[in-house]
Structure 1
């Protein structure tokens, strides 16, 4: 499968590259990764990074890095997770420090969600959110997610937000 490049008004969502790993590993080693099960050492971050790349070959979807069009800066990642650690296909996002509060996560996740519904013909996606992660709860709501209290979750205590394909 060819990994797509998606564009929005302000962003380019592109395939991951090895030179993305240092910034990714730094985020995963920081307290900012607490809502993603971190902090992680380099070995753990590498495993997650490789998982995001491998998903494309295994499932036809995975993670894309988020570049800001105005200056080409990589500001984070958006992806569709799956595999034995995820009960359902999960739409997730992360932003590097200093890029929150501009709508980038919502813009990137909306583009990938729409792509998944159109090109993968998915009927539903979920986002797993730690109850204390207010910014991600807001993003999930802006994306049209509705709390699904019956959905199986990735980690005990997570909230599941469900998105459905438009008919």
Structure 2
């Protein structure tokens, strides 16, 4: 009996290996799982709206379920950072805790968003208000003082 051996072209094997690495590699799956396929992606990055007016900027973050005492706002090195952290509540006695039969929403434990602010923003006058799950920050622009008109005499 004669055995016939077929050699696969190296380029076809390399391309097949590349495709396999892209779609079957755990790194690709892990990136999708960590970022987009879990609720944690949207929980860790609350949605934001930013508006600009002639007198300043307004930033709105959608952060329902947080107490205003848990939210921290910090301005440092031209960066505005908004963060919150919450300890997970646990029953003191596990035997007395009710059995959970369904869980469709999780407890958000933290979030952090940072924004670059320019020289126009007056960091000393930033105001924040939390109402109905929306954190609203008002970032006023610095007042521009125009120099008084000066007549120059030609000599």
TM-score interval, smaller chain:
under 0.3
Structure in which a larger fraction of residues adopt strand: 2
For normalisation by structure 1, the TM-score amounts to 0.23
For normalisation by structure 2, the TM-score amounts to 0.25
The structure with more radius of gyration: 2
Structure in which a larger fraction of residues adopt helix: 1
